[in-house]
Amino acid sequence: MPGSHRSSRYVRPLAFLIALAAGGCGGGTSSSAPGPLPPPPPATKGKYFTHVVVIVQENRTFDNLFATFPGADGTTVGKTQHGTIRLRKANLESPISPNNGYTFWRHDYNNGKMNGFDTEPPDQYVYQYVDPAQIKPYWDLAQQYVLADHNFQTQGSGSFTAHQDLIRGGTNIGGAQSLIDFPSAQPWGCDAPSGTRTSLISLSNQYQHLQGPYPCLTYETLRDTLDNAGISWRYYTPPTGGFSGNLWNAFEAIKAVRQGSEWTTNVASPETQIFSDIRHGQLASVSWVIPDYANSDHPGDNSDTGPSWVAQVVNAIGESPLWNTTAILVVWDDWGGWYDHVAPPGARSYGGLGFRIPLIAVAPFAKDGYVSHNQYELGSIVAFIEDNWNLPKLGTTDEHAADFAGDFFDFTQSKRKYVPIQTPYSRSYLLHRRPSMKPVDYE
């Protein structure tokens, strides 16, 4: 279970989720049935864009999705303890989900050798890349807009801290310590059972298992700086008040939101409400969009709809008047246990940087079919939002992470006309699909 040490790095999520759902969340989550939200305040014009939309996907490395992308730093050959191995082409959907906590990351990283991925059973399973035909919407977006091939997650860890990084840039809590991995009980946040603990890692990478605070956090996030500047924001998440949304939701762990009025005004559930907000021209200045488990790229979800979900959100914006004022950033939250060949650069601290994760930028001013080799990280997204609205820094990785505005976009070019991305699954299919009521991730 989350929070425990595993003897194997691999889990089969479906059986785990059935057992966990049967046992309940344990933390007394409650919420009224989802209904229409009041419209956010009018979007505020920024330096580059009026709207920034961050679409989050799950658990993939750059090599896992873009190993053979033309012009990118990918590979089809992996390093092992005993030499090399050719990566096999595989389906997007995987019945096995590799573990991705800090301990497993450290084994794979192996002091920068990047050859420890085969050190635990079933050995060579993670040496694979997804058949490009199965993720064509991602490739089409990357070929038409911008793909960053040296974008790194903040820590060598999993989804709990990665999604905190997407609203803050880091999980430092003072005393030269940061949160890492995931809490000891569900849900991951202010509704967790009494006694739930988090884990910590120090500046010098000393791991402290379950020695951290209860996961109801008081540090500042972009929510604070956006609110202070009168800039609207909205976080689209799977249904809350049930199993999925409260287990996994970045703002579930932020006390000021979870125990304040913004839980019912700024946290939008279900996540498909973004289509209505786009259609009615009510998109907030800053939006985070989290998929239902079934529409995520998380291994073990028994679904291949993730690329269609992302592309249909992009299409909805691209086909609306919002296109002319919006930057869309598609990012995967963490490495998910899959192989990647590029060692994270820089000195090690707080368990980071972690492995590479893809980042696609779509906008009317985005460069055409550009592959950026410059170094970015999750804090770069936070820095870009801060710079777009001249917000103060939060004092995390946003202070040093490079802002990609001058790299990804050419503001001297004419605004590009949006060409819809073709998808195997229609928007109607995604809108009418019943929520899975499963957590987007549990590690």
Question: Tell me: the pLDDT tens digits for 260-289?
Answer: 999 999 999 999 999 999 999 999 999 999
Amino acid type, 339: Y
List the chain domain ranges: 41-75+129-160+216-432
Rounded to the nearest angstrom, the gap between the alpha carbon of residue 136 and the centroid of all alpha carbons in its chain is 20
Look at the alpha carbons of 284, 285, 290, 296 in this order and tell me if their dihedral is positive or negative: positive
Question: Tell me: the pLDDT tens digits for 192-245?
Answer: 999 999 999 999 999 999 999 999 999 999 999 999 999 999 999 998 655 444
Nearest of 325, 432, 387 to residue 53 by alpha carbon: 325
Q: At what angle do helices 378-389 and 159-168 cross, to 10 degrees?
A: 20
Instruction: Tell me which CATH code domain 41-75+129-160+216-432 carries.
Output: 3.40.720.10
Question: Tell me: the pLDDT tens digits for 352-380?
Answer: 999 999 999 999 999 999 999 999 999 99
Neighbour tally for 22: CB within 10 Å: 7
pLDDT confidence of residue 36? 75
pLDDT confidence of residue 240? 62
Mean pLDDT across 405-423: 97
Nearest of 181, 208, 247, 252 to residue 17 by alpha carbon: 247
Widest pairwise Cα distance in the chain: 59
φ, ψ of residue 118 in degrees (nearest 5): -105, 20
Nearest of 54, 95, 19, 113 to residue 359 by alpha carbon: 54
**For the ranges 135-139, 236-240, 244-248, 305-309, which has the lowest average pLDDT?**
244-248
* Residue 26: band (very low, low, confident or very high) from pLDDT cuts 50, 70, 90: very low
- Given a contact cutoff of 8 angstroms between Cβ atoms, the answer to whether 308 and 330 are in contact is no
Question: Tell me: the pLDDT tens digits for 330-340?
Answer: 999 999 999 99
Q: Flag whether pLDDT at 17 surpasses 80.
A: no
pLDDT confidence of residue 422? 98
- Given a contact cutoff of 8 angstroms between Cβ atoms, the answer to whether 145 and 168 are in contact is no
Give the residues across from 213 on adjacent strands: none
Nearest of 90, 209, 159 to residue 336 by alpha carbon: 159
pLDDT confidence of residue 443? 66
- pLDDT above 70: percentage of residues in the chain: 89
What predicted TM-score, i.e. pTM, was given to this entire model?
0.93
